[in-house]
Protein backbone atom coordinates (compact mmCIF):
# COMPACT_ATOMS: atom_id res chain seq x y z
CA UNK A 1 0.00 0.00 0.00
CA UNK A 2 1.42 3.37 -0.99
CA UNK A 3 2.13 5.87 1.74
CA UNK A 4 -0.16 8.96 1.43
CA UNK A 5 1.59 11.98 -0.04
CA UNK A 6 2.71 14.56 2.50
CA UNK A 7 1.00 17.87 1.71
CA UNK A 8 2.29 21.19 3.03
CA UNK A 9 -0.85 23.01 4.12
CA UNK A 10 -2.08 24.92 7.18
CA UNK A 11 -2.52 22.48 10.08
CA UNK A 12 -6.29 22.83 10.65
CA UNK A 13 -6.94 22.24 6.95
CA UNK A 14 -4.46 19.35 6.90
CA UNK A 15 -6.53 17.65 9.58
CA UNK A 16 -9.88 18.53 7.99
CA UNK A 17 -8.84 17.36 4.51
CA UNK A 18 -6.83 14.33 5.56
CA UNK A 19 -9.04 11.86 3.69
CA UNK A 20 -9.07 14.00 0.52
CA UNK A 21 -5.28 13.89 0.25
CA UNK A 22 -5.54 10.09 0.12
CA UNK A 23 -7.98 10.05 -2.80
CA UNK A 24 -6.76 8.97 -6.26
CA UNK A 25 -7.41 12.40 -7.76
CA UNK A 26 -4.79 13.96 -5.51
CA UNK A 27 -2.07 11.60 -6.71
CA UNK A 28 -3.23 12.41 -10.24
CA UNK A 29 -2.87 16.17 -9.61
CA UNK A 30 0.61 15.77 -8.13
CA UNK A 31 1.79 13.53 -10.97
CA UNK A 32 0.47 15.91 -13.63
CA UNK A 33 2.18 18.97 -12.12
CA UNK A 34 5.43 17.06 -11.62
CA UNK A 35 5.39 15.92 -15.27
CA UNK A 36 4.83 19.47 -16.52
CA UNK A 37 7.63 20.82 -14.36
CA UNK A 38 9.96 18.17 -15.80
CA UNK A 39 9.03 19.56 -19.23
CA UNK A 40 10.01 23.02 -17.91
CA UNK A 41 6.47 24.36 -18.08
CA UNK A 42 5.83 27.49 -16.01
CA UNK A 43 3.00 26.93 -13.55
CA UNK A 44 1.15 29.55 -11.49
CA UNK A 45 0.97 30.23 -8.64
CA UNK A 46 4.40 29.26 -7.35
CA UNK A 47 4.44 26.05 -5.32
CA UNK A 48 4.46 27.70 -1.91
CA UNK A 49 1.32 29.68 -2.82
CA UNK A 50 -0.83 26.91 -4.29
CA UNK A 51 -2.56 26.48 -0.91
CA UNK A 52 -2.34 30.15 0.11
CA UNK A 53 -6.13 30.46 0.53
CA UNK A 54 -5.99 27.79 3.20
CA UNK A 55 -2.88 29.27 4.81
CA UNK A 56 -4.52 32.68 5.23
CA UNK A 57 -7.94 31.37 6.32
CA UNK A 58 -7.72 28.40 8.71
CA UNK A 59 -10.55 25.88 8.60
CA UNK A 60 -12.03 26.88 11.93
CA UNK A 61 -12.10 30.57 10.93
CA UNK A 62 -13.99 30.32 7.62
CA UNK A 63 -17.06 32.59 7.51
CA UNK A 64 -17.37 33.51 3.82
CA UNK A 65 -16.37 31.72 0.61
CA UNK A 66 -15.77 33.70 -2.59
CA UNK A 67 -15.39 31.16 -5.37
CA UNK A 68 -13.21 31.86 -8.39
CA UNK A 69 -12.49 29.68 -11.41
CA UNK A 70 -8.74 29.26 -11.92
CA UNK A 71 -5.63 31.32 -11.15
CA UNK A 72 -4.45 34.26 -13.24
CA UNK A 73 -2.26 32.90 -16.03
CA UNK A 74 -0.09 35.96 -16.67
CA UNK A 75 3.26 36.48 -14.89
CA UNK A 76 3.31 37.92 -11.36
CA UNK A 77 -0.48 37.91 -10.87
CA UNK A 78 -1.48 34.60 -9.26
CA UNK A 79 -1.02 34.37 -5.49
CA UNK A 80 -3.33 31.50 -4.51
CA UNK A 81 -6.29 33.71 -3.55
CA UNK A 82 -9.26 34.03 -5.91
CA UNK A 83 -9.43 37.42 -7.67
CA UNK A 84 -6.41 38.74 -5.69
CA UNK A 85 -3.08 40.00 -7.05
CA UNK A 86 0.10 40.85 -5.09
CA UNK A 87 0.95 44.39 -4.00
CA UNK A 88 2.39 46.40 -6.86
CA UNK A 89 0.46 44.52 -9.56
CA UNK A 90 -2.31 46.39 -11.38
CA UNK A 91 -5.73 44.96 -10.42
CA UNK A 92 -7.25 43.07 -13.40
CA UNK A 93 -10.60 44.27 -14.78
CA UNK A 94 -12.76 41.83 -12.78
CA UNK A 95 -11.11 42.89 -9.54
CA UNK A 96 -11.56 46.57 -10.43
CA UNK A 97 -15.27 45.89 -10.93
CA UNK A 98 -15.40 44.20 -7.52
CA UNK A 99 -13.91 47.35 -6.02
CA UNK A 100 -16.41 49.53 -7.91
CA UNK A 101 -19.30 47.49 -6.49
CA UNK A 102 -17.81 47.77 -3.01
CA UNK A 103 -17.67 51.51 -3.46
CA UNK A 104 -21.33 51.66 -4.53
CA UNK A 105 -22.48 49.17 -1.92
CA UNK A 106 -20.72 50.35 1.23
CA UNK A 107 -18.85 53.48 0.16
CA UNK A 108 -15.41 51.87 0.37
CA UNK A 109 -12.76 53.95 -1.41
CA UNK A 110 -11.17 52.19 -4.41
CA UNK A 111 -8.02 50.58 -2.95
CA UNK A 112 -4.52 51.26 -4.24
CA UNK A 113 -3.70 47.53 -4.09
CA UNK A 114 -5.38 44.39 -5.41
CA UNK A 115 -4.04 42.26 -2.58
CA UNK A 116 -7.06 40.73 -0.82
CA UNK A 117 -5.11 39.08 2.00
CA UNK A 118 -6.82 41.34 4.61
CA UNK A 119 -10.16 39.72 3.67
CA UNK A 120 -8.67 36.23 3.93
CA UNK A 121 -7.33 36.93 7.41
CA UNK A 122 -10.87 37.81 8.56
CA UNK A 123 -12.38 34.52 7.46
CA UNK A 124 -13.04 35.05 3.74
CA UNK A 125 -11.88 31.89 1.97
CA UNK A 126 -10.78 33.08 -1.47
CA UNK A 127 -11.05 29.71 -3.17
CA UNK A 128 -10.39 29.00 -6.82
CA UNK A 129 -12.06 25.84 -8.13
CA UNK A 130 -8.77 25.02 -9.89
CA UNK A 131 -5.59 25.79 -7.94
CA UNK A 132 -2.95 25.86 -10.70
CA UNK A 133 -2.57 26.90 -14.33
CA UNK A 134 0.11 26.88 -17.04
CA UNK A 135 1.50 30.27 -18.01
CA UNK A 136 -0.60 32.00 -20.68
CA UNK A 137 -2.98 29.01 -20.94
CA UNK A 138 -6.24 29.70 -19.08
CA UNK A 139 -8.06 26.62 -17.76
CA UNK A 140 -5.09 24.43 -18.73
CA UNK A 141 -5.36 22.53 -15.42
CA UNK A 142 -9.15 22.44 -15.27
CA UNK A 143 -9.31 18.69 -15.86
CA UNK A 144 -6.38 17.33 -13.87
CA UNK A 145 -8.37 16.69 -10.68
CA UNK A 146 -8.48 20.03 -8.86
CA UNK A 147 -12.21 20.39 -9.47
CA UNK A 148 -12.93 17.11 -7.68
CA UNK A 149 -10.78 18.28 -4.77
CA UNK A 150 -12.41 21.70 -4.39
CA UNK A 151 -15.91 20.27 -4.90
CA UNK A 152 -15.24 17.98 -1.97
CA UNK A 153 -14.02 20.97 0.07
CA UNK A 154 -17.16 22.99 -0.69
CA UNK A 155 -19.36 20.05 0.25
CA UNK A 156 -17.36 19.46 3.45
CA UNK A 157 -17.72 23.10 4.49
CA UNK A 158 -21.46 22.92 3.83
CA UNK A 159 -21.90 19.71 5.81
CA UNK A 160 -19.64 20.42 8.78
CA UNK A 161 -20.36 24.10 9.36
CA UNK A 162 -23.40 26.35 9.56
CA UNK A 163 -24.02 30.04 8.97
CA UNK A 164 -21.49 30.46 6.14
CA UNK A 165 -21.93 32.85 3.22
CA UNK A 166 -21.19 31.39 -0.22
CA UNK A 167 -20.66 34.11 -2.86
CA UNK A 168 -21.11 32.70 -6.35
CA UNK A 169 -20.42 35.06 -9.26
CA UNK A 170 -21.13 33.81 -12.77
CA UNK A 171 -22.45 30.56 -14.23
CA UNK A 172 -19.37 28.52 -13.39
CA UNK A 173 -19.51 29.30 -9.68
CA UNK A 174 -23.27 28.85 -9.58
CA UNK A 175 -22.92 25.24 -10.75
CA UNK A 176 -21.61 24.57 -7.23
CA UNK A 177 -25.00 25.32 -5.63
CA UNK A 178 -25.81 21.61 -5.63
CA UNK A 179 -22.93 21.09 -3.16
CA UNK A 180 -24.29 23.61 -0.61
CA UNK A 181 -27.13 23.19 1.87
CA UNK A 182 -29.28 26.35 1.54
CA UNK A 183 -31.03 25.60 4.83
CA UNK A 184 -27.76 26.00 6.75
CA UNK A 185 -25.99 28.71 4.77
CA UNK A 186 -26.53 31.93 2.81
CA UNK A 187 -25.99 31.66 -0.95
CA UNK A 188 -25.46 34.92 -2.86
CA UNK A 189 -25.60 34.75 -6.68
CA UNK A 190 -24.87 37.37 -9.32
CA UNK A 191 -23.28 37.78 -12.73
CA UNK A 192 -19.50 37.52 -12.93
CA UNK A 193 -17.60 40.80 -12.32
CA UNK A 194 -15.85 40.42 -15.68
CA UNK A 195 -16.28 43.46 -17.99
CA UNK A 196 -18.24 41.13 -20.30
CA UNK A 197 -20.97 40.48 -17.73
CA UNK A 198 -20.70 42.93 -14.83
CA UNK A 199 -23.54 45.09 -16.17
CA UNK A 200 -25.84 42.05 -16.36
CA UNK A 201 -26.40 41.87 -12.62
CA UNK A 202 -23.07 42.09 -10.83
CA UNK A 203 -23.21 45.86 -10.38
CA UNK A 204 -25.88 46.55 -7.82
CA UNK A 205 -25.84 43.08 -6.28
CA UNK A 206 -24.85 44.53 -2.86
CA UNK A 207 -23.27 41.24 -1.84
CA UNK A 208 -20.83 42.84 0.56
CA UNK A 209 -23.43 44.52 2.74
CA UNK A 210 -25.67 41.44 2.45
CA UNK A 211 -22.81 39.25 3.68
CA UNK A 212 -22.25 41.41 6.73
CA UNK A 213 -25.95 41.58 7.54
CA UNK A 214 -26.14 37.79 7.53
CA UNK A 215 -22.98 37.38 9.63
CA UNK A 216 -24.26 39.81 12.26
CA UNK A 217 -27.65 38.06 12.33
CA UNK A 218 -25.79 34.82 13.08
CA UNK A 219 -23.66 36.33 15.86
CA UNK A 220 -20.53 36.62 13.75
CA UNK A 221 -18.27 39.62 13.32
CA UNK A 222 -18.83 41.43 9.99
CA UNK A 223 -16.03 41.66 7.43
CA UNK A 224 -14.13 44.94 7.20
CA UNK A 225 -13.90 45.11 3.41
CA UNK A 226 -11.50 48.08 3.42
CA UNK A 227 -8.00 47.24 2.20
User: CA 125 from chain center: how many Å?
Assistant: 6
Looking at 39-164, list the stretches that DSSP marks H as alpha helix, in order from N- to C-terminal side: 52-56, 93-106, 117-120, 146-160
pLDDT at position 2: 46
Are 71 and 128 spatial neighbours (Cβ–Cβ below 8 Å)? Answer: yes
pLDDT in tens, 104-149: 999 999 999 999 999 999 999 999 999 999 999 999 999 999 999 9
pLDDT at position 8: 86
pLDDT in tens, 42-52: 999 998 899 99
Query: Which residue has better confidence, 7 or 31?
Result: 31
CA 129 to each of CA 96, 139, 152: distance values in angstroms, whole numbers, following the listed order: 21, 10, 10
pLDDT at position 190: 98
Using only C-alpha atoms, what is the Rg of the chain?
17
pLDDT in tens, 34-76: 999 999 999 999 988 999 999 999 999 999 999 999 999 999 9
Q: What single DSSP character describes residue 135?
A: T
List 70, 105, 148, 152, catalytic entry = 70
For every residue of 160-220, DSSP letters joined together read H--S-EEEEEHHHHHGGGGGS-TTTSEEEEE--SSTTTGGGTTTT--HHHHHHHHHHHTT-
pLDDT at position 5: 57
Q: Is 70 a catalytic residue?
A: yes
The predicted model gives 84-100 an average pLDDT of 97
The predicted model gives 185-205 an average pLDDT of 97
Amino acid sequence: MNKPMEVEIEKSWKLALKELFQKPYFDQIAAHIKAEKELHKTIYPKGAQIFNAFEQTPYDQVKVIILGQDPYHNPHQAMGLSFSVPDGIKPPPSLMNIFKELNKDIGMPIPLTGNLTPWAKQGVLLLNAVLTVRENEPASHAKIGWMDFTNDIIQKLSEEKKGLVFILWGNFAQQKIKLINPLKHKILKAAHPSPFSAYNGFFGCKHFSATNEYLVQHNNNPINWAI
